A and B are shown apart, each in its own frame.
Chain A
């Protein structure tokens, strides 16, 4: 059997690895758009910050692919998929036949349609080449505005600050990490970020990049202007669904897959940032990982259901650990919320409880207890008796 994989990100690589663990003989061919070997995207931030050298960005060596007998084709983007003949076509029109296909093409950085987005000085951060371009620009330009106060925006802001740049963050919404934090947590985070010299502005919608050919600043809706010579757009991602869509596979915002990670064509599967499962798109590593493994089992007919992934983010921003799991901003319904904070130290703990089980949690500024809370959420443990005391420092989780 020959399996072709479009994409060499974490889902492509974990899928290949799992396939090989399940079967020594299956032919595995990975087609990568980029010219680089697999790298975990979090390493780009480490590299940008100067915390790791270039060589440490990559995860597996050339030898690893050989040992695993995985054929990797770098710099070979796939042009089209032909469902009837079960082939993919490369840019040079060369065709490759598959028995099964995995679409793991991932996402690209979305740049909102503001004026002047193509002027010199506007960047995104998604690939190694992006990181190189940003570092090169930093040699001469040191005043940066990050567009987007989400996970990527904040991690990028801190990385560039540690490189000596002057950094400000502009966020469209009214708080930082709008998806992962609530207002209280976000306000504590904002204090901590400003403590290290990164200014944050809310309610800012970028309308234009000022300057002739080179960026001189940004103008926002409402007329406010900020000076800068570089900007990094971290305003979300969109999936690379064009090839799949053109081939006739069902797509919406992402490539639509069923509970077995199968697309509308039975020989084609999907995993990672590109897919949409039960209307959800994740964009986080644990989901990509889960989906890739599950898809590999299903390709061999070992039916494994993908039950979705509890959205969870663990990140470090300004040296502060921020974990956000499940439903953290409940709207209507019978939810109870419990909080404990220590603003000075940047500590904020919150749980969202429904019918005695924790359905979501924010755990910021401390790692103590976060693994236990995560487990209680995924196992749907009843914590009724401990609703309030569970947030205390040194709570003894063995009582549960």
Chain B
């Protein structure tokens, strides 16, 4: 599963870790994150993320 990077603050979303503090279980691919999920570090939406290759 691919990691995605927040272009606003550099936070890396790692699907293997998920974002449990905000209700996202480990193993959740980025595409499956709810539309209203925001970067846990700076608060911008999914739209600001780009795939880390």
Contact = CB atoms under 8 A, between A and B. Distances in A.
A42 B10 CA distance: 14
Given A56-B36, A285-B8, A40 B44 contact: yes
Contacts of A367: 50-51
B41 interface: yes
B7 interface: yes
B9 A56 contact: no
Contacts of A56: 36, 38, 45
Nearest to B52: A371
Interface residues of B, number: 19
Contact of A43 (B9, B41, B44): B44
B43 A58 contact: yes
A46 B45 CA distance: 10
Contacts of B50: 314, 321, 367, 370-371
Interface in B37-53: 38-39, 41-45, 47-48, 50-53
B47 to A, nearest CB: 8
Interface in A332-390: 367-368, 370-372
Interface string A28-69: 000000000011101100100001100010111000000000
Contact of A285 (B42, B45, B47): B42
B5 interface: yes
A10 interface: yes
A372 B50 CA distance: 12
A131 B5 CA distance: 27
B48 A42 contact: yes
A42 B53 contact: no
A108 interface: no
A368 B53 CA distance: 9
Given A42-B44, A43-B43, A46-B45, A289 B52 contact: no
A83 B48 CA distance: 40
A60 B42 CA distance: 9
Interface string B5-49: 101111000000000000000000000000010110111110110
Given A286-B9, A371-B5, A371-B50, A14 B36 contact: no
The listed residue with most A CB atoms (<10 A of its CB), out of B39, B42, B52, is B42
Contacts of A60: 43
A288 B9 CA distance: 9
Contacts of A321: 50
A345 B44 CA distance: 28
A289 B9 contact: yes
A43 B36 CA distance: 13
B21 to A, nearest CB: 10
A285 B9 contact: yes
B10 A372 contact: no
Interface of B: 5, 7-10, 36, 38-39, 41-45, 47-48, 50-53
5 contacts: A14-B42, A40-B43, A43-B43, A60-B43, A289-B10
Interface of A: 10, 14, 38-40, 42-43, 46, 51-52, 56, 58-60, 285-286, 289, 314, 321, 367-368, 370-372
Q: What 3 A-B pairs are tightest by C-beta distance, nearest first?
A: A59-B43, A314-B7, A40-B43
